[in-house]
């Protein structure tokens, strides 16, 4: 990983991997909203960061001027070898209209609320097993003992991949999401090679032994009477792996962090379980894990900013969700907030396809945890770590179980 100079002025030199941003981005975003709603950086070859709800919404809904071709910021730009728009490397997240609509329609039924309901018992049982495994411990790591395992198990089961490969899934997510600072494209491609080989093995196994899972569904799916291209199937599976794992893991872990540091909220949630749906939406707003990126399609002026073709646009849904113009007491966590038009799952045509699944996993994971442990606290506030990059969540989260 390259060593980068620390940021002194986030308005003109922002970096979402800067230690100050990673540790506590909220005061930075508050200042940007006041000073200049759209911050700029020359890092990563140039990019912009709108910090208000209004501007984040405007970008999310503007597929004419912004492409989703690459949604994770890196030092490079999509090379000539990269699959072109409108399909992109991981459809439909990397796709633009009109292809986007087709690719998205294809996968939405697999993540519909009806399907998600059928998965809930599996998640509940799995959470119970994880808690059984740590039942003798006085200190439970909410991240590495609990949250991180839950979405991995869910996604693995949905794809129909072997249970023994769950560690490998976490490795894949790590390579894709946290390897963004590797400037050498050849090295990034080399790091990706084992993933490609593994996925081809899994696809072949599903071709030889079709079964009732998402992988076989994609292999059999057709667009206008034609089977999907291999790179489409590969890309969609990669999307499900990457978008479905550390996002939800972050959502669960950050929620546990909140409850560990706010005993009154924990007590209310234990005593008033009917608050859970409102609490989940507030966890999603207050600790939104996911930030997406866009690329500027052609030179144009956005809100007075002279954007150039191929500039990055960092789409900060978490910043939008803390905008005081959109939410009264935006910097306060209100567990029974009634009106909460948060955009944690994005907005517009790219609304997170797995949002119903993520919500269910968060709800079940928290319900099971607080049922088992109605009282817990951080062992030490200073040791909590947060992930860097475009997915934010508590990672190292040692919790002392109280009786």
Partner 1 sequence: MKVVINADACTGQGRCFGIAPELFDFDDLGNGVVKGDGKVTPELVEKARLAEANCPEHAISIEE
User: What residues make contact with partner 1 under the rule CB under 8 A?
Assistant: 105, 108-109, 111-114, 277, 281, 338-343, 345, 347-349, 351, 355-356, 359
Residues in contact with 107: Cβ distance below 8 Å, sequence separation at least 6, in sequence order: 92, 218, 236, 353
Phi, psi angle pair for 290, to nearest 5°: -110, 130
In the complex, minimum distance from the CB of residue 174 to partner 1, in angstroms, rounded to a whole number = 29
For residue 165, count other CB atoms closer than 10 A to its CB.
15
- The alpha carbon of 2 is separated from its chain's Cα centroid by a whole number of angstroms, namely 24
In the complex, minimum distance from the CB of residue 357 to partner 1, in angstroms, rounded to a whole number = 10
Is the CB of 51 or the CB of 387 nearer to partner 1? Answer: 51
DSSP string, 305-328: EEE-TT-EEEE-HHHHTT-TTTST
In the complex, minimum distance from the CB of residue 158 to partner 1, in angstroms, rounded to a whole number = 15
* Of residues 333, 143, 341, 347, the one with CA closest to residue 254: 143
In the complex, minimum distance from the CB of residue 224 to partner 1, in angstroms, rounded to a whole number = 18
In the complex, minimum distance from the CB of residue 278 to partner 1, in angstroms, rounded to a whole number = 9
As a whole number of angstroms, the distance between CA 356 and CA 345 comes to: 10
Is the CB of 37 or the CB of 346 nearer to partner 1? Answer: 346
In the complex, minimum distance from the CB of residue 339 to partner 1, in angstroms, rounded to a whole number = 5
Is the CB of 270 or the CB of 349 nearer to partner 1? Answer: 349
For residue 273, count other CB atoms closer than 10 A to its CB.
12
In the complex, minimum distance from the CB of residue 341 to partner 1, in angstroms, rounded to a whole number = 5
Is the CB of 82 or the CB of 347 nearer to partner 1? Answer: 347
363, 373 Cβ separation under 8 angstroms: no
Which tokens belong to 205? 């196994």
Is the CB of 312 or the CB of 327 nearer to partner 1? Answer: 327
As a whole number of angstroms, the distance between CA 257 and CA 279 comes to: 14
Is the CB of 96 or the CB of 145 nearer to partner 1? Answer: 96
As a whole number of angstroms, the distance between CA 108 and CA 105 comes to: 5
Is the CB of 155 or the CB of 353 nearer to partner 1? Answer: 353
């Amino acid at each position: 990983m390259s060593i980068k100079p620390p940021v002194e002025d986030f308005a003109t030199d922002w970096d979402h991997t800067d230690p100050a941003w990673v540790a506590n981005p909220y005061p930075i975003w508050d200042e940007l909203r006041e000073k200049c709603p759209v911050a700029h950086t020359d890092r990563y070859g140039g990019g912009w960061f709108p910090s208000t709800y209004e501007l984040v919404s405007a970008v999310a809904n503007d597929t004419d001027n912004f492409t989703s071709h690459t949604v994770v910021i890196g030092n490079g730009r999509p090379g000539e070898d990269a699959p072109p728009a409108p399909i992109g490397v991981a459809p439909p997240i990397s796709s633009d209209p009109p292809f986007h609509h087709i690719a998205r329609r294809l996968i939405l039924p697999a993540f519909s609320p009806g399907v998600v309901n059928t998965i809930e018992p599996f998640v509940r049982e799995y959470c119970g097993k994880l808690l059984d495994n740590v039942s003798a411990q006085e200190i439970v790591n909410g991240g590495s003992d609990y949250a991180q395992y839950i979405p991995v198990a869910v996604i693995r089961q949905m794809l129909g991949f072997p249970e023994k490969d769950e560690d490998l899934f976490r490795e894949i997510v790590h390579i894709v999401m946290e390897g963004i600072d590797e400037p050498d494209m050849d090295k990034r491609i080399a790091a990706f090679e084992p993933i490609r080989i593994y996925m081809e093995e899994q696809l072949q196994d599903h071709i030889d032994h079709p079964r009732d899972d998402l992988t076989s569904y994609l292999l059999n799916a057709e667009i206008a009477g034609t089977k999907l291209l291999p790179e489409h199937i590969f890309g969609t599976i990669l999307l499900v792996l990457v978008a479905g794992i550390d996002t939800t893991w972050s959502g669960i872990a950050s929620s546990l962090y909140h409850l560990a540091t706010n005993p009154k909220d924990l007590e209310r949630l234990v005593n008033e379980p009917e608050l859970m749906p409102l609490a989940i939406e507030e966890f999603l707003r207050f600790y939104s894990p996911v930030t997406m990126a866009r690329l500027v399609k052609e030179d144009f002026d956005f809100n007075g900013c002279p954007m150039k073709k191929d500039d990055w646009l960092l789409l900060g849904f978490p910043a939008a969700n803390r905008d005081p113009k959109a939410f009264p007491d935006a910097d306060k966590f209100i567990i029974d907030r009634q009106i909460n038009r948060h955009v944690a799952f994005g907005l517009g045509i790219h609304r997170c396809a797995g949002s119903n699944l993520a919500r269910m996993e968060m709800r079940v994971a928290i319900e099971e945890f607080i049922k088992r442990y109605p009282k817990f606290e951080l062992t030490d506030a200073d040791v909590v770590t947060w992930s860097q990059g475009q997915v934010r969540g508590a990672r190292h989260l040692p919790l002392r179980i109280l009786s």
